């Protein structure tokens, strides 16, 4: 399961500055045919053709793609983030913290990506969720005086039970900043990937303004 919400795409001003930069090497600003006005824009055929030719020339020539930022809220399982975290250059993220807020709410089946589980494995997950909630209850109701009881686990010991028991199917929310360059890398590198989440992520990329700059063949 993956959910992509609150997408913020490059503003007309950012597109205008980006296009101006693409024409700097050849001093060809006079050939720009895009139009910009407050809150709106239209990318001209000349400018779009130039950007496509620069992309075909390779990453050294298509640096302008890094000037086009995209922000989005992503809710996805931890197992997907392990692959997403491969993309370190050109990305910034603020995530909901499992370290600090794992006990903030009661665990429920909806907190996990489990759409492919069969009856047996889903029942195992439900047992884990029950155990997590048992430890959560112990954690939030913990009495400091219990530290004096011989053999009683500390509050941190209880916290460890939740942290290390938490399955990788647990869904975490992150607000992520990317750019068209890294999205192009992701789009082509993750084509045909076995995880459904990557296909859904690629479909989201296709909805971005002038996404053909990202999706066009190498």
Residue with tokens 């992701």: 186
Beta bridge partner(s), residue 70: 178
Three-class DSSP category at 42: strand
- pLDDT, one tens digit per residue, over 139-176 is 998 887 766 555 678 889 999 999 999 999 999 999 99
Q: Determine if residue 94 is left, alpha or beta; phi over 0 gives left, psi from -120 to 50 gives alpha, anything else beta.
A: beta
Tell me what the mean pLDDT of segment 4-13 comes to.
98
Q: What is the rounded distance in angstroms from the CA atom of residue 151 to the CA atom of residue 93?
A: 41
- Band of the pLDDT at 115, cuts 50, 70, 90? very high
pLDDT at 90: 84
pLDDT at 96: 85
Angle (CA) 80-84-89 rounded to 5° is 170
- pLDDT, one tens digit per residue, over 26-66 is 999 999 999 999 889 999 999 999 999 999 999 899 999 99
CA nearest 112: which of 166, 193, 73, 165?
A: 166
pTM for the whole structure: 0.92
Ordered structural domains, the chain, with CATH: 3-96+173-215 (3.30.1360.170), 103-165 (no CATH)
Q: What is the rounded distance in angstroms from the CA atom of residue 29 to the CA atom of residue 10?
A: 21
Percent share of the chain, pLDDT over 70? 97
pLDDT at 56: 95
- pLDDT, one tens digit per residue, over 61-111 is 999 999 999 999 999 999 999 999 999 888 999 988 787 788 889 999 999
Q: What is the rounded distance in angstroms from the CA atom of residue 77 to the CA atom of residue 16?
A: 37
Tell me what the mean pLDDT of segment 172-197 comes to.
97
Q: Are 181 and 89 in contact (CB under 8 A)?
A: no
For 125-179, give the secondary structure using H, E and C.
HHHHHHHHHHHHHHHHCCCHHHHHCCCCCCHHHHHHHHHHHCCCCEEEEEEEEEE
What burial class does residue 194 get, using C-beta atoms within 10 Å of its C-beta: 0-12 exposed, 13-18 middle, 19+ buried?
exposed
Tell me what the mean pLDDT of segment 110-130 comes to.
98
Q: Are 112 and 104 in contact (CB under 8 A)?
A: no
Tell me what the mean pLDDT of segment 169-187 comes to.
97
Q: What is the DSSP letter of 43?
A: -
* Paired tokens of 49: 């053709």
pLDDT at 150: 55
């Amino acid at each position: 399961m993956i959910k992509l919400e609150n997408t913020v795409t490059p503003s007309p001003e950012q597109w205008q500055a980006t296009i101006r930069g693409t024409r700097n090497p050849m001093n060809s600003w006079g050939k720009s045919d895009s139009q910009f006005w407050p809150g709106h824009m239209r990318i001209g055929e000349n400018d779009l053709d130039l950007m496509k030719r620069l992309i075909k020339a390779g990453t050294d020539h298509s640096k302008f793609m890094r000037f086009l930022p995209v922000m989005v809220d992503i809710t996805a399982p931890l197992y997907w983030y392990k692959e997403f975290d491969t993309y370190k250059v050109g990305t910034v993220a603020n995530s909901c913290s499992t370290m600090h807020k794992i006990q903030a709410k009661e665990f429920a089946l909806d907190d996990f990506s489990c759409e492919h589980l069969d009856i047996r494995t889903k029942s195992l997950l439900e047992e884990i969720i029950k155990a997590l909630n048992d430890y959560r209850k112990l954690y939030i109701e913990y009495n400091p005086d219990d530290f004096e009881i011989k053999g009683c686990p500390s509050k941190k010991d209880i916290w460890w039970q939740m942290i290390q028991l938490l399955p990788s199917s647990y869904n975490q929310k992150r607000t992520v900043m990317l750019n068209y360059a890294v999205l192009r890398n992701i789009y082509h590198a993750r084509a045909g990937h076995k995880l459904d989440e990557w296909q859904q992520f690629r479909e989201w990329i296709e909805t971005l303004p002038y996404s053909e700059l990202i999706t066009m063949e190498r």
